[in-house]
Amino acid sequence: MQQILSCYIPKPNLEPINYEIINQIISFLIAEKKPFGYIPSKLIAPNFKKKITFNKLDQNIDYMLCTANLSSYLLEEYFNSTNDDSSELLRKHLTTLYNESKKLSDDPNTQFFHIYKNIYPVDDGLDNFSQSTYYNNILIIMSLYFESCDIFEEPKEEGLS
């Protein structure tokens, strides 16, 4: 930290993804042993912005997801290097959270924040910078599974019904 005008400013964390935090989240989910049942994989990648609009997510969530999505390729690289089922585990966990959120609210923004807050229990006792680092990584995870339509609905093509 640096001291400027008698207040401390944290050094910026310019790391787009924190693999230690990703590992903590995955380890937490593995230990949770939540029964998922069968959750089909969608493997769909519609236009990201169209999907945000289609799902009626507000501009703050739009910004959060789009910014996080810039780093989602790093998460994909991480999954490719691990040779385990962590990607599939996260997919099932997020899909389950999304399905839960739809039962709790019809509002897509409320659904988004239900998923955001329930992926991993971020310690409220952490300083703001550390909490922010956790939530940034959670957003990267969410953006990857948002893009593949594992969370939120796939936009319907106009003229097709």
Q: Assess whether pLDDT exceeds 60 at residue 1.
A: no
* pLDDT tier, 160 (very low <50, low <70, confident <90, very high otherwise): very low
Rounded mean pLDDT of the chain? 81
CA distance 33 to 161: 38
Query: Residue 139 gets which letter from DSSP?
Result: H
pLDDT of residue 5: 46
How many Å apart are CA 96 and CA 7, to the nearest integer?
A: 43
Backbone torsions φ then ψ of 79, nearest 5 degrees: -60, -40
Residue 6, pLDDT > 60, answer no
Mean pLDDT confidence for 1-29: 68
Q: Is pLDDT of 101 > 90? A: yes
DSSP, residue by residue, 47-88: -HHHHHHHTT--HHHHHHHHHHHTTHHHHHHHHHHH-SSHHH
State pLDDT tens for residues 60-87: 999 999 989 889 899 999 988 887 888 8
Percent of the chain whose pLDDT exceeds 70: 79
3-state secondary structure of 105: coil
Phi and psi dihedrals of 151, rounded to 5? -125, 140
Beta strands in the chain (DSSP E): 2-4, 7-9
pLDDT of 154 reads 83
**51: nearest Cα among 116, 150, 147, 159:** 147
